[in-house]
Copies of this chain bind each other. A is one copy, B any other.
């Protein structure tokens, strides 16, 4: 054991969990914050911004990329990363949907 039993859940549930998991680390939230702060995409300078070694950041970027949250394009010998809006929309809609569903409930307990 130890491995997540993804086969028991729906594709949507697994997708959402993957996205949430990808953002479930402060370094990856910090990468997102930086991507939003700077007006263009990041091209390497993120290594100087975060208090982690270059291989570690490269790994975090890889995970964000695997989840589909960011996309990267080669820019000379540097690589330019930025947020992928389409995938982010899934999360946005999910939480907005939850909030409206909760609001409609009469909250008859807790």
Contacts and interface: CB of A to CB of B under 8 A. Distances in A.
Interface of A: 4-6, 8-10, 13-14, 16-18, 20-30, 32-33, 36, 39-41, 50-52, 71-73, 75, 80-83, 85, 88-89, 91-92, 95-96, 98-99, 101-102, 105, 107-110
A36 B99 CA distance: 10
Given A28-B17, A29-B13, A102-B85, A5 B52 contact: yes
A40 B5 contact: no
Nearest to A36: B101
A23 B16 contact: yes
A89 B39 CA distance: 26
A29 B9 contact: yes
